Structure 1
Amino acid sequence: MPYTPKTALLGTGTMGVGMAHSLLRAGLPVTVWNRHPEKAASLADDGATVAESLEEALRGAEVVVTMLFDADSVAEVMEQALPAFEPGTVWVQTTTVGRDGIARLAELAKTHGVPFYDAPVVGTKQPAEDGKLTVLAAGPEATRDAVQPVLDAIGAKTVWLGEEAGPASALKLVANSWVATITAGTAFGIAQTRAFGLDPARFLETISGGAADSPYLQTKGRAIVEDRTDDPQFALDGLRKDLGLIRDADEAAGVPTVLVDALLAAYGTAADRGRGGSDVAAVVAAFEADRDA
């Protein structure tokens, strides 16, 4: 029989719900908790135990997974949760929190003597639902057998980056830098095409199958062309948060911030035009001065 650790998932937003479904599909016993209980309630119909309190969520848990918004929200929850951990319980931290954030959370785990895994995920809503995320992971080898079934359930692959927290979260920033860049570039190309009086679908057709093409570019491009950005796979405000973390990390490492500054400006403009809760592809609003934002 495969090992199926009892798992507590703290955070049931867009990504958390998908991860919960993947954990359940893999046969893991899952308890979910959210600061806003209504966001977790529907998971009871899918087979999860919905906890009304952190203490209830942690009872009997062998692995605790956090998927919240940022480092502050994770720290706030875990400062309450860690004293209630049972002996041997491990913490798998999947939220994108940046380099400073992960150092802060790792220290919090160390203070409570809890094995800690820095494990941000690459992917959006649908890969989370399908168990096809890429997990970037770092943490102690001694307890990896406990966490691997969880990582295997939510991800198509796990990229191990050592035992110390930090490298996984750093690589996640690099990945999201690329997501922000390619999404904004795709949106800009479509906005240009429209401004030049051309059918924007022709832009996607022109690069399709070429060296500059990618499945992600086509997916986001079609979402823009077909005006399907109101159902977020990855919310624009979430990427703006990550771009702030990227800028901080770049500045600390001496990386010139000219590109990330431009991206922050573009996504910020789109948010100012009311698109913060939309998909990241709604950054197109930043480039469409002559169209309704």
Structure 2
Amino acid sequence: MTTTSEHPDPRVPVALLGLGPMGHALSAAFLAAGHPVTVWNRTPGKAAGLVARGATAAGSVAQAVRAGRVVVVCLRDDKAVRAAVVPADADWTGRVLVNLTSGEPAQAREMARWAAGRGAGYLDGAVLTPTPTIGTPAAAVLYSGSGEVFAAVRETMAALGGTAAYVGDDPGTAAGYEVALLDVFATAVNGVVHAFALASAEGIAPQRFAAFATGIGGLLPEMITRFGEQLAAGRFPGDRSTIASAAAGIGHVVNAAAGHGIDTGMLTAARRTVDRAVAQGHGADGLARLAEVLRRGGPSVPERPAVSSG
């Protein structure tokens, strides 16, 4: 695929490898935008609905790649991507591989090297919104890799709808955003379910607890923005809350949960970070300082056992 055209064909042929829920949604969006679409899936039988809407089912990865100028892959993980594309006797010359499979930054960089060795352009992408948003204004996808390649396929990828944000020429950057955002989600969900378990152990009805918990959740957007500003500036004022005060609060939660036999693994990990920050002399700093403590590490501190009140 030529990557220097200022006026790319709006009906670029697209090949889609992988027809899980997200792959199916991506294929449907390309079809709705008028692109010739060829689809392949390791397990046969998932393409029928798309074929009825105008897609072509490929019998092999090589056949799908041959049909597409932009080849979008959306599989379970990096291992599945490699199992599909590496053994395939496909001609990648002049094509663009857009990898929308969730993975790790190092894996994205390695796939970019693999694609370059076969004459293909490469973009790594992170889909940040669920399948129902694909093809709508609510969709959000991050892309990283060659800026020239992104410019060449931007109009084609616009079929997915919403926001298409280019985040840099390092192929691993989009995956870096994704894993960090998944970190927010995973730890937040763990915190929510852990809190419900603790509240229930204390005899608090879930619905009544939820009414107050949503208020706590409402504090996060402003806090995230403020932490970002403080980390960028390297200044961590403790005017709202300090690490030392957080140490006391986490201790109360750990002790209360342990008293009910509720797992405290994530909380004790958080307390270790807080204790390390205090040991490094940051007790009077604001909580954003903890991100630097985590990234830079430092001497560990003795584990504090939970104190049961029972």
- The reply to whether TM is greater than 0.5 is yes
Q: Which residue in the other structure is 1:192 paired with?
A: 198
Residue 76 of structure 2 aligns with an amino acid whose one-letter code is F
Residues 203, 114 of structure 1: alpha-carbon distance in 2 compared, 3 angstrom cutoff: same
Question: How many correspondences in the alignment?
Answer: 218
Normalized per residue, the structure richer in helix is 1
Q: Please state if 1:121 is matched with 2:127.
A: yes
Shift of 1:61: 0.8
The aligned counterpart of 1:47 is: 54
Query: In structure 2, how many angstroms separate the alpha carbons of the residues matched to 1:126 and 1:202?
Result: 31
Q: CA deviation at 1:131?
A: 6.5
Q: Is the 8 A contact 2:145 2:171 kept in 1?
A: yes
Shift of 1:103: 1.9
Which position in structure 2 is the counterpart of 1:274?
none
* Structure 1 residues 67-108: Cα deviation after superposition (integer angstroms, max 9, x where no partner): 1111121112121347323x4211101111202211221111
Corresponding residue for residue 75 of structure 1: 82
Aligned residue for 1:230? none
Q: Which moved more, 1:17-26 or 1:185-194?
A: 185-194
Q: What SS is found at the alignment partner of 1:39?
A: coil
Gaps of 5+ in 2: 1-6, 222-290, 298-310
* 2:227 aligned residue: none
Which has the larger Rg? 2
CA distance in 2 between partners of 1:27 and 1:67 (Å): 20
Corresponding residue for residue 162 of structure 1: 168
Structure 1 unaligned spans of 5+: 215-249, 257-293
Which of these residues, 62, 71, 74, is aligned with residue 69 of structure 2? 62
The separation in 2 between residues aligned to 1:114 and 1:33, in whole angstroms, is 19
In the other structure, the counterpart of 2:211 is 205
Which amino acid letter does the alignment assign opposite residue 72 of structure 1? K
Residue of structure 1 equivalent to 2:178: 172
Of 14, 23, 28 in structure 1, the residue corresponding to residue 21 of structure 2 is 14
Post-superposition shift, 1:47? 3.1
- Could you say if the C-alpha distance between residues 150 and 199 of structure 1 is closer, same or farther in structure 2, counting changes exceeding 3 Å? farther
Percent of paired sites with the same residue: 30
The reply to whether residue 30 of structure 1 matches residue 30 of structure 2 is no
Partner amino acid, structure 2, of 1:50:
A
In the TM superposition, what are the counterparts of 1:259-270 in structure 2 within 5 Å?
none
Change (3 A) 1:65 1:161: same
For normalisation by structure 1, the TM-score amounts to 0.65
User: What CA RMSD, in Å, does the superposition of the two structures yield over aligned residues?
Assistant: 2.7
Q: 1:69 to 1:203 in 2, by over 3 A?
A: same
Q: Output the CA distance in 1 between the equivalents of 2:89 and 2:209.
A: 51
| CA distance, structure 1, for counterparts of residue 51 and residue 97 of structure 2 | 23
Give structure 1 regions of 4+ aligned residues with deviation exceeding 6 angstroms: none
- Contact 1:207 / 1:213 at 8 angstroms: preserved in 2? no
